[in-house]
Structure 1
Amino acid sequence: MNRARRQLLGCVLVAVVLFLLYRRRQSGADVNVPPPVTPEAPEIPAPENPEEHPHDETKPPYLWRDLPLRFPPTVIELLPEGSPRDLPGLQAGSEHVSRITLWHQQSRKAAVKEAFQRCWKSYKNLAWQTDELAPLSGLPQNGLGGWGTTLVDNLDTLWIMGMHDEFNEAVEAVTQIRYEDTQSPEINTHETNTRHLGGLLAAYDLSGDRRLLDKAVHVGDMLYAAFDTPNRMPITHWDSHRAERQEEQLAEEATSPSEVSSFVLEFTRLSQITGDQRYSNAAHQVMVRLQLAQDMSKLPGMWPVVLNTRANMADSDKFTMGPEADSLYKSLPKAYALLGGRLSMYRTMYEKATRTVASHSLFRPMNAQGKDILVPGSVQVTMTQNGKPRTHLEPQVHHRACFAGGMFAVGGALFNIPIHRKIANKLVDGCIWASQAMPMGIMPEVYEAVPCASQTSCPWNEWHWKQEVWKKENTVNPDPSLDADAFIRDHRIPRGFIAIPDTRYNLRPDTIESIFMLYRVTGREDLLDTAWEMFETIQNATRVENGNAGLVDVTDDQGETGHTDLMESYWMAQTLKYFYLIFSTPDILSLDDYVFNSAGHPFKLPRLAEMEKAFELQ
């Protein structure tokens, strides 16, 4: 071969090598590189196998992404740049857990998994690809959009429990969901966000299955359309059909802070994974408004139970840690961690909120056992004649407010606030007390207790308790001749409680969630036995032929009032998941590596994601 030919061949080989390197770089580009600061959305590639994603030919495959916005954001604020801060470790060291203790938990973990498998089998056989199963009648229910909520909500639980065959089958079913299609006249965007988008993102973070990310982008785009209002505040009870027709959308005049704030974790994580910062920007702007409302409310530091998001007003006079606000409060330390500690506003919001909560909402209930415990009540604010606010504690406690113990445990460790660990222990012990005091050993949806006059000394007073029961009943049904002893007996009111407005138990996870969080942060081994006793009690009381069903009355230890015909998706996705995790080794979904959204779905923290990426590049 002459010299000219060798030179020509060499040039060709160099060109081929450079071309291949260019293609490799393009195909392996970092998905977290932020796009230009512009409201336009970046292109998202179509699924690799379109045959796996059947759809209505009359509708485009990316309906919500292609839908023009009536009120686009004027600017896209990027996620904070730079490396994540070196945040404090949240979990107690594994050396605090003995081998004997870990060995003892294996049979408990297996029992929880067996309960899950039994419920999953019933759902698959009787309600597959529908929202939820009615376990008494054996009928499917579609009250959450008809998109298979139980299916999506439990993807990560299947993976965590090592049920990979069932997981793969579920993923195949999820690829068939058409989020563009729903018969529901109204969509609860809060539930869709936390259960569907949260479930898809967590399952993707755990498995790396690209199909789940594709579906998460679809859901994210749909929910993003609910922000298309004049002030960019999301509609929480949303008519997607009106939005599809590009009719006017307005933020609501009455919604809860829990619902309107719930997007911050899911939208942030979606932006971190895809690089599309429209999502995180939309959620962040809502939180900026909520930060302003926090200072302007009638009880600065807390948010009222009702917000007027259309007028950006927070002038309601009732405050609670219950269902109207739980997701907002618990998201604050988690958002700080998910953003790698690079956005201080979430720490500021958490510290302001917890100061007010500790001063006004938390109270010590008088109890016959003399336990030094705390529970979260509600606060009513009235204005005096001179225009100053006056607060009044309403000692009504919601089961859903039991998240507070876990929040104080995580926030106290993350922000190094020692008093919060003490508060966390008292709050968790308070929810355990409220459960164990009931005739069935299960906490009701709502109860009222006798507040102690002092948090340092609170001796039991039988007469005072009965007087408070008498007074409470007379405010509802005036009867000066009421016999308190007979009323307590007939209504099965435990000592220390003055009323139980809602006697149901709806398979809720909040108590075991906080027990799990506190155990992981402190290593308190007595919580393991408490959790096991709680699991056995709930399982024995709620187990029915086709799964588990809620209870009508937790004060009825004879079981005469029966069950409610609904197995909420969160029974498996949260309640059983937290029971399973507390009996697992502490390295499984470490709180140093993951944050759990309000529906119990774990998202990778930036530090873990960067470590995994560095390992893959080696």
Structure 2
Amino acid sequence: MLNGARLTVAVAETKIIDDGAVRVLWFRAYRTAPENQPSRATSFGTSPYGDADGKSGQKGEGNGAAERDPVRPVVDIQGIAHSADSLPEATHQVVANGVPVIDEPKPSTSEALMAIQTAPPTPITPPNPAAITYDDTVDENGQKKVIHWKKPIEYYPVAEEDLIRLPTGTPKKMPRIQHEFGAETVEERTIREERRDKVKEEFLHAWKGYKQYAWGHDEVGPVKGGVRDPFCGWAATIVDSLDTLWIMGLKDEFESALEQVEKIDFTTSPKTSIPVFETTIRYLGGLLAAYDISDAKYPVLLTKATELGEILMSIFDTPNRMPVLHYQWQPHSANERHRAAGNSNFAELGSLTMEFTRLAQLTGEHKYYDAVARITNALVEWQERGTEIKGIFPDSVDASGCNATAIPVEPEEASQKATPRRPLSMDEICRPQGLTPGPSRQSYSMGGGQDSTYEYFSKMWLLLGGLDTTYRTLYTNTMDAIRNHLLYRPLIPGDRDVLFSAKMQINPYLPPDRSHEMVYEVTHLTCFIGGMVGMGAKLFDLDADIPIAERLTDGCVWAYEATTSGVMPEDARMFPCENPLDCPWDEEKYNKLLDPRWSLRAQEVEDYDVEKVRKEKVRKEMAEKKAKEEEEAKEAPLLAEDGVDPIVPRTNETSTGYSLGGDAPPAANINKKRAASSNDTVPLAKDLPEIPHVAPSKTSTPGVPLNPHERSLPKQREDPYRPFTHEEFIADLLGRNNLPLGYARVEGDKYILRPEAIESVFYLHRISGSPQWREKGWKMFESIIAATRTQIGHSAFVGVNREPAGQRKQDSMESFWLAETLKYFYLLYSEPDVAA
């Protein structure tokens, strides 16, 4: 995983209409690597499939109107605007950075919307001055000149006749993905609509905060009301949220946002480097999704998407047409020759296909499709050539296309220090090659750094109407690898049969018997996989994968329920079941797995107790001896008068050679034995942290306590130097580390408003029709809102397994919170024909 890399992805759903034509529902998704990697956003929209000649395929009635222009998507969005005037008021607690709890009434949807519309944002002209970059010169009016991107020299152009063109022909009839829902009862509808409207209220609450404090900027700080511009300052939250505004029926807000979108200048930015992946997902995908979902009624959206697409096309101007993923856009850098990195991030490399393909379909410009089709072809060649795990790819990729050879040296210098004859260009020392693993340790997983590329395979097959079987092959090969190598069942309380996807790490520099390591992880980013597997099962007639999708999704639901806050951590580790077919909860076994030295602890405690008794005995004997010597010393002056030397009191050294201060002789020093494990270090009693009382965690398994503090230690130990017993060690580990029962370790004790888990819950609900997913989703929603709500919006927080008083908000609200997370919650409680 590349440190600091932000990983992102796009997803799509489909709608099958009576005439067999297919529509794509866009869902952009942000992915990120373990640390300092937030992201996964989602766009939403629909699009028809048509060939390059402008024909949509088969004719039909009603929604499947015949012979549609391929650049004009067809959308059904009836019933997406609903009144919530009758909703009861509620109070919410706002706890942030130790600020006292504030109770505030929640306005109804209508009241919240009215507040937004009647309170104009702080005027900003231009929309975001922070997004403008100036050089050191001034114009004739004394104003600083703005640095703009200009189309650079093209060193490796593709001739028109060599472009890979969009597939043509009649799109295939797609299998039905969504469950056929029956009529709902009055009670079911009432509950569903109340929940949907509460989701909408939370969206409006956060949108109002962004509009008031950060309009035109990328993000708002939901705790302090500050602004952030991590994505070039082009108003990421606005662009990313356009489709959500439309789906929720907020047309006035949508059109207000469009006014800001029209002002965005993609040719300048305070960032000297454009993060290609994030820009493609949040901006290009956001614009295209909004264009599609609004039935192409707002041409400015396609205009701005094309402007951005033209700039991003420069990233493909490399010898092998593999993209530069961090684009130096300023003219002095853009006009230089470029080559793709030797350590490119796999998710970033393979997750550009959806947006560029859709841009090609809408504009008729095949160059956009050619750019990403060449990446796909390279992946196919690599998959056929083979990787360490057949079917999937490592997270770090050498995309340079260059196998650098040794620089030649003069013959007479061969026995001396090799010195280059002259500097050589990369092209001169390069032997062409395809994609290969990067230079570092290889990691194979469905998590951050890889996820979105795999997610795109099935969605690209949909987007192209099944006319390119390449993507079906890539997907099915990927699924074979997942089933055979990555899936595992965790040891958790109760009898829930869930699955997670592991990570295989391979160090090519170690011997084969020590080079492979399996990491049994559960990460929020990986939680998208349930939805992907469920959708793929429907698309490619893989019926046996439906139960796998359900178990994967329920695994992430359990990860939420197992914590004190009801929200799962960013990254954690689990213990795998030895037998996935028979894995009952065994707390004794679980405790032993937590404490690998459990079998030694009893003996250590016994040795310590014996040694302590011995030392006490020695101390007592020496004290008695010292008292006797001091008594005898009182007579010394009298004896001295008779010419006898006075008795000099002895020090507290004994014949054994160690101090009576309490240290044992070297041979008996049990502390040296304990020093072998860093987990055994015991602090002084005064340094031991107070173990807070934590209320029982939520669980769907009755009778199974998930509160790790039920076995917590006293606040202070009588003898802080005494080794822990196995039971004491477990209680201290669970309490001091706030470890949820069932987890092996928590690596990232935070939640950054990610959508992956609720995304899969939404998918499984629409695929299966089971009401259980709406119930599970609602528990997740209530927990998330309780832990993240502020007066301005919603904030990422640290401390998922702590009570509210122990949680700490991070003053961050990324655009995917509005663009994806709340959108999935809203769709979960919408009518089945909304985004069907």
Q: Which range, TM-score by smaller chain?
A: 0.7 to 0.9
In structure 2, do the counterparts of structure 1 residues 559 and 336 end up closer, same or farther at CA, with 3 Å as the change threshold?
farther
- How many Å separate the matches in 2 of 1:94 and 1:151? 34
2:745 corresponds to: 499
- How many Å separate the matches in 1 of 2:513 and 2:784? 46
2:565 corresponds to: 440
- How many Å separate the matches in 1 of 2:308 and 2:765? 34
Query: Which of 465, 471, 494 is matched with 1:346 structurally?
Result: 471
Q: Secondary structure at the match of 2:179?
A: coil
CA deviations on 1:190-212 (whole Å, 9 max, x unpaired) are 01001100000010001211000
1:38 corresponds to: none
2:699 corresponds to: none
CA deviations on 1:271-325 (whole Å, 9 max, x unpaired) are 1111001111111111111222334221111111111111321255221111111
For residues 73-472 of structure 1, the aligned pairs below 5 Å read 73-74=158-159, 75-95=162-182, 100-207=187-294, 208=296, 209-241=298-330, 245-295=334-384, 296-311=386-401, 312-314=435-437, 316-381=441-506, 391-471=516-596
**RMSD over equivalenced CA pairs, Å:** 2.8
1:538 paired to 2:784: yes
CA deviations on 1:311-366 (whole Å, 9 max, x unpaired) are 32125522111111111111111110111011111111111111111211111001
- How many Å separate the matches in 2 of 1:405 and 1:300? 21
CA contact 2:148–2:330 (8 Å) conserved in 1:
no
Q: CA deviation at 1:242?
A: 5.3
Q: CA deviation at 1:104?
A: 2.3
Q: CA deviation at 1:463?
A: 2.2
Query: Which of 788, 810, 827 is matched with 1:581 structurally?
Result: 827
CA contact 1:402–1:510 (8 Å) conserved in 2:
yes
- How many Å separate the matches in 2 of 1:120 and 1:549? 13
CA deviations on 1:558-580 (whole Å, 9 max, x unpaired) are 43231111100000100000000
1:479 paired to 2:680: yes
Q: CA deviation at 1:255?
A: 2.2
CA contact 1:258–1:325 (8 Å) conserved in 2:
yes
CA contact 1:298–1:389 (8 Å) conserved in 2:
no
- Count residues in correspondence: 543
CA contact 1:304–1:319 (8 Å) conserved in 2:
yes
More divergent stretch after superposition (68-77 vs 491-500): 68-77
- How many Å separate the matches in 2 of 1:512 and 1:184? 33
Using the size of structure 1 for normalisation, the TM-score is: 0.83
- How many Å separate the matches in 1 of 2:167 and 2:300? 28
1:71 corresponds to: 156
1:9 corresponds to: none
Structure 2: 5+ residue runs without aligned partners?
Answer: 1-49, 55-125, 402-434, 599-674, 682-722
CA deviations on 1:472-505 (whole Å, 9 max, x unpaired) are 9999945385623211121121221110011010
Q: CA deviation at 1:243?
A: 7.1
CA contact 1:360–1:393 (8 Å) conserved in 2:
no
* Letter of the 1:125 counterpart: Q
Q: Secondary structure at the match of 2:267?
A: coil
* Letter of the 1:111 counterpart: K
In structure 2, do the counterparts of structure 1 residues 385 and 212 end up closer, same or farther at CA, with 3 Å as the change threshold?
closer
Larger Rg: 2
CA deviations on 1:575-616 (whole Å, 9 max, x unpaired) are 0000001111111111xxxxxxxxxxxxxxxxxxxxxxxxxx
CA contact 1:97–1:523 (8 Å) conserved in 2:
no
CA deviations on 1:98-143 (whole Å, 9 max, x unpaired) are 5643342111111111111111111111101110011111011001
* Letter of the 2:680 counterpart: D
Q: CA deviation at 1:380?
A: 2.1
CA contact 1:234–1:260 (8 Å) conserved in 2:
yes
CA contact 2:523–2:570 (8 Å) conserved in 1:
yes
* Letter of the 1:148 counterpart: A
CA contact 2:343–2:396 (8 Å) conserved in 1:
yes
- How many Å separate the matches in 2 of 1:138 and 1:580? 26
Using the size of structure 2 for normalisation, the TM-score is: 0.62
- How many Å separate the matches in 2 of 1:151 and 1:282? 27
CA deviations on 1:200-247 (whole Å, 9 max, x unpaired) are 001000121100000000111111111111211111122212576411
CA deviations on 1:376-419 (whole Å, 9 max, x unpaired) are 12112356999699754211221100000000010000001011
CA contact 2:51–2:168 (8 Å) conserved in 1:
no
- How many Å separate the matches in 2 of 1:475 and 1:347? 52
CA deviations on 1:401-445 (whole Å, 9 max, x unpaired) are 000000001000000101111100000010000110011110100
Q: Secondary structure at the match of 1:380?
A: strand
Structure 1: 5+ residue runs without aligned partners?
Answer: 1-29, 35-51, 591-618
Q: CA deviation at 1:550?
A: 0.6
CA contact 1:73–1:232 (8 Å) conserved in 2:
no
Moved over 6 A (4+): 52-62, 383-390, 472-476
CA contact 1:402–1:427 (8 Å) conserved in 2:
yes
Q: CA deviation at 1:163?
A: 0.6
CA contact 1:225–1:243 (8 Å) conserved in 2:
no
1:6 corresponds to: none
> What percentage of residue pairs aligned between the two structures are identical?
33
Q: Secondary structure at the match of 2:560?
A: helix
Q: Secondary structure at the match of 2:535?
A: helix
In structure 2, do the counterparts of structure 1 residues 472 and 174 end up closer, same or farther at CA, with 3 Å as the change threshold?
farther
In structure 2, do the counterparts of structure 1 residues 468 and 140 end up closer, same or farther at CA, with 3 Å as the change threshold?
same
For residues 12-91 of structure 1, the aligned pairs below 5 Å read 33=53, 66-74=151-159, 75-91=162-178
* Letter of the 2:368 counterpart: Y
CA contact 1:472–1:499 (8 Å) conserved in 2:
no
- How many Å separate the matches in 2 of 1:167 and 1:385? 56
Query: Which of 753, 761, 764 is matched with 1:515 structurally?
Result: 761
Q: Secondary structure at the match of 1:418?
A: coil
Q: Secondary structure at the match of 1:585?
A: coil
- How many Å separate the matches in 2 of 1:489 and 1:99? 46
* Letter of the 2:814 counterpart: E
Larger helix percent: 1
For residues 550-569 of structure 1, the aligned pairs below 5 Å read 550-569=796-815
CA contact 1:154–1:199 (8 Å) conserved in 2:
yes
CA contact 2:219–2:813 (8 Å) conserved in 1:
yes
CA contact 2:753–2:814 (8 Å) conserved in 1:
yes
